[in-house]
Amino acid sequence: MTGDTRRIAVMASGRGSNLDALHRYLAALGPRAAATIGLVVCDRDAAGALALAYALGIDARVAAPGPDQGERLASLLAEFEIDLVVLAGYVRLVPDDVVRAYRGRLVNVHPALLPAFGGRGMYGGRVHQAVLDAGARVSGVTTHFVDAVYDRGAIIAQWPVPVAHGDTAASLGARVLRVEHLLYPRVVQAVAAGRVSLDDAGRAVWADATPRRGLTFVPESLEDHEIVRYIDDALDCSSR
């Protein structure tokens, strides 16, 4: 690590698959990684992400909901000298004082193309079923900065996932999750490296001022390494 390496706290409510994907990606980058995972925070003892963090040798804590959660969470992040907070399947609203303290340093991934199919209670299988019920032909992944309202913050990057004939919430969700695991770690690296930030007007801005909408259509049949090639090209990751 260097003095420029950012310390990440990953907040999760579920089994931790995005935590695992982020850990693997940063490890693969080696000295090129702009961040390291210094803490995992879960909202319940039974979260699989907690056990995964212990298995990976990462410090982990439980910050259960309650009237003083914001104060406890802010204190925990300060104790571990956290620079960037990464929500990875965290289903609760982040307390306002933490959102304010980490403005522009708090990111999330959502399993649909926001602003559609977002908001309170829209997570996991509920999102995918809503996509199917609406008759949408394309779903996808959205990464965004976090503000005080569920799924409203400035969009950093999106990637589409086609809805296939005969899809169920489970089958669509599996393909969306696959793309989450490829896109989200690269966005976290970009934010940690200062290549994308939140400006005073609340917009996501890339350091080189090049627009990156991440909306090149990707057929579902592509292998992971091919999707990675498209994502790296859209986000200009390959040379970083």
SS3 134: coil
CB atoms within 10 A of CB 56: 16
Residue 184 neighbours by CB under 8 Å, 6+ apart: 18, 21, 22, 88, 109, 141, 143
Q: How far apart are CA 138 and CA 73, in angstroms?
A: 36
- Catalytic pick from 23, 110, 128, 181? 110
Two structure tokens written together for 118: 């977002």
CB 21 within 8 A of CB 176: no
Catalytic-residue membership of 110: yes
Two structure tokens written together for 225: 């390494």
* Residue that the structure tokens 């829209």 belong to: 122
Closest CA relative to residue 87, chosen from 43, 48, 33, 131? 43
CB atoms within 10 A of CB 82: 20
DSSP element (H, E) containing 206: strand 204-206
Q: Where are the alpha helices (DSSP H) in 80-150?
A: 96-101, 125-133
SS3 167: coil
Active site residues: 110
